[in-house]
Structure formats: structure tokens, C-alpha cells
Amino acid sequence: MKRNVYADNCATTALDPAAFEAMTPFLLGNYANASQPYALARAPKKALADARETIADAIGAAPDEIYFTSGGTESDNWAIKGVVGRQAGEGSRRRGVLASAIEHHAVLRAVESVRRLGAPVAYLAPDRRGVVRSEELARLISDEVALVSVMLVNNELGAIQPIAALAELARSRGALFHTDAVQGVGHVPIDVKALGVDLLSASAHKFNGPKGVGFLYVRRGVELAPFLDGGGQERGLRAGTENVAGVVGMATALQANVAALASTQAALAGVETRFLSTLNALGVVYALNSGEATRAPGVLSLAFPGFEGEALLHRLDLLGVSVSTGSACNSQETEISHVLKAIGAPDSLARGTIRISFGKQNTEEDALYVAECLAKITRTR
């Protein structure tokens, strides 16, 4: 019997009903501009302060280290361009950037943007599992590097990077460290102090919050060039009337996800085990692109030799299953993913790759159905 299974949670997640309920008052009665001094603006102003504190608490930060943005792309761009712009403005020779070759395009294209403006740029190669090792960073870092950027959880492979070790090495050489944690926040335990990062990006819609809102963690003492000029919002560094409803929804969703993190991870481990064991029992031939790397729960990059990933995606869609061939931001392109190229995946595997990302709404019955659909498709091409 056909059922609908959404298994593309790395692309976006369903809005938490509690987040929706928390947002509603700020879309209706409490709609005032939080920057205004009159009584009607007090509730929105307090809501922003409370949300900042909630988000900070969720990642081990201080409230004044949290800056609201429009999402992960803006946060990544601000972190990179803000550091390089500040260094360039001060005439420093230390304005280079090192980024991993498997970053999201929000990072890679921001890095290319500062390269065109004259900043020295280099890319860290991952190993075959999709993990950036400290030895690679030690090989490339120099006294001209101002910022190192390595994502916490790879958005295609699910591989978790050794951020604490990488950040410690970068900072020992005088560079700041940024991590794109868009796929990690709300899904894996995060403490910015334990990680040792200077900057961290997040996007609400990846952890059951609304689209169009995110945040950038900036460690106290780190100075960035302003990203948007205008009013004095976000302490004069990111102008623009605050998206109060979005921020409130983001904080509510993050708090809920963090509170349930252990149980969600355990449930996702069960879903993933059921899925892989069913594939194996049904004799489906596949390869896990991340190998033995530690992954975020439920995120699987699977290659099916002899098949095209795009064709698998469409056939699964006809059976009610939603997956992707990689990054949703690159879904219109049919070329091999830059991530799979970077880890040296053979073309035969790269072309037959799909990404399955289960979320907290998925059940073991969903996993069974997806595995059975893949078995049916791979047997009847």
C-alpha cells in the first residue's frame, strides 16, 4: 500500500506546531516594530530578548553573542566577509581564508567572493569518508590566514567534523574559526565553548523552525565588519527591522529540539538501523558514501551502482517517498556533487547517489517502506 514518507529533512523540516503557536501573536496583535519606544513595542522587544537568551542557552553562549539573520546563507556570508572586511579595513596582511572543499555553496561562494577582492584563499581536502583532518589544516595554514571555515555536519554525507581539534589548531596559529552548523544545531549536542569556535551559523528551518530566519554566534571580542547598513539593529552590525515572529518561532523550535535531543537521536538510530537492515535483507546493492565516519543520526548518502540518482529520486517520488540527490540548494543541477568529487567517489557511485535524511517525524515503518521501494526499483529497472 502506497504511503507518503518525507525523508529529505536536510533540505528543510516541518514547522513545530509549538513554534507556530508562539509566532502567531507577533503576526497579529503584537505586530509593533520592536525598535520603537512606545508601549505597543514592549512585547516584541521583550520577545526578542527572551529568544536571544533561549538560543544562547541552547548552544552554551551568552545572549550578547547571538545575532539574528535571515538564515544560514546570510550567517555564512557575514562570518566570512565580516572577518575579511574587518581585516582589510585595518590594513592587516592576515586576511586569507581556508575552507573545506566540502562546504555548502553558501560558504564556498562567499569565499570565492573575497578571493576576487584580493584575499588569499585555499581549500582543505577531506579524506575518503568526508572528514577534514587536523593534518590537512596544519599543512595549509599560514600567518596570512584570518579565518578557517569548516562545517560541523556535512549537508550531503552527514559526516561530523572534528571541529574542536580543528578550531584549537587554527586559533593556536592566530586565525579565527567559523563553523557552518546549519545541519548540526538542534540535531547534535553543541557547546560553543567546548568546540572552541569563534563564529557559528544556524538556520531555523533546519530544526523545525520557520524559513527565513537564523542566527550567527559571534564570540565576545571578535570584531566583524557590519553586514547590512541602515538602522541600529543587532548592535549596529546587521540593520533591518527584526523578524520578531520568526525569531520567536526559531527559539521555540530550538528549545524543543534540544530538550528532546537524546530521545530523538535514539529513535533515529532505530529508524536508520531498520532501513539499512531491510536493504541488506532484500539484497539491495549499495554503498554508504561516508564509510565509517561518525554521522548525524538519520543522514545517509547512498550510492546504487548502475543507477542514476535523479532517476531513483523520481521513481521514489512516484511511490510517495521524498529524498534528494544532494544539496537542495543545488537540486536543479545534474552534474556530480562537489562533495562527492572532493572525497574521490568514483563516477559510477557518484552518479547513482541519493541522500536520505530521516527526521524526528519518521518511524521504523517509514524506514521499512523506503527500503522496500528501493528494492522494488532496483530489481525492475
What is the set of active-site residues? 329
CA torsion through residues 297, 313, 74, 178, sign: positive
d(CA 132, CA 197): 16
Q: Which residue has the cell 527572551?
A: 50
Contact 357, 299 (CB under 8 A): yes
Q: Are 355 and 326 in contact (CB under 8 A)?
A: yes
Sign of CA dihedral 152, 270, 280, 11: negative
Backbone φ, ψ for residue 265 (5° rounding): -65, -40
Reading phi first (left if > 0) and then psi (alpha if -120 to 50, else beta), residue 255 is in: alpha
Which own/partner contact pairs does 350-353 have at CB distance under 8 Å and 24+ positions apart? 350/303, 351/308, 351/309, 352/303, 352/304, 352/305, 352/306, 352/307, 352/308, 352/309, 352/312, 353/289, 353/301, 353/302, 353/303, 353/304, 353/309, 353/325, 353/326
Cell 596570512 belongs to 144
Q: Which amino acid is at 356?
A: I
User: Which residue from 300, 289, 287 is spatially nearest to 127, judged by alpha carbons?
Assistant: 289
Alpha carbon 331 to chain centroid, angstroms = 16
Angstrom CA distances, 135 to 123, 140, 162, 304, 339, stand at 13, 9, 12, 32, 20
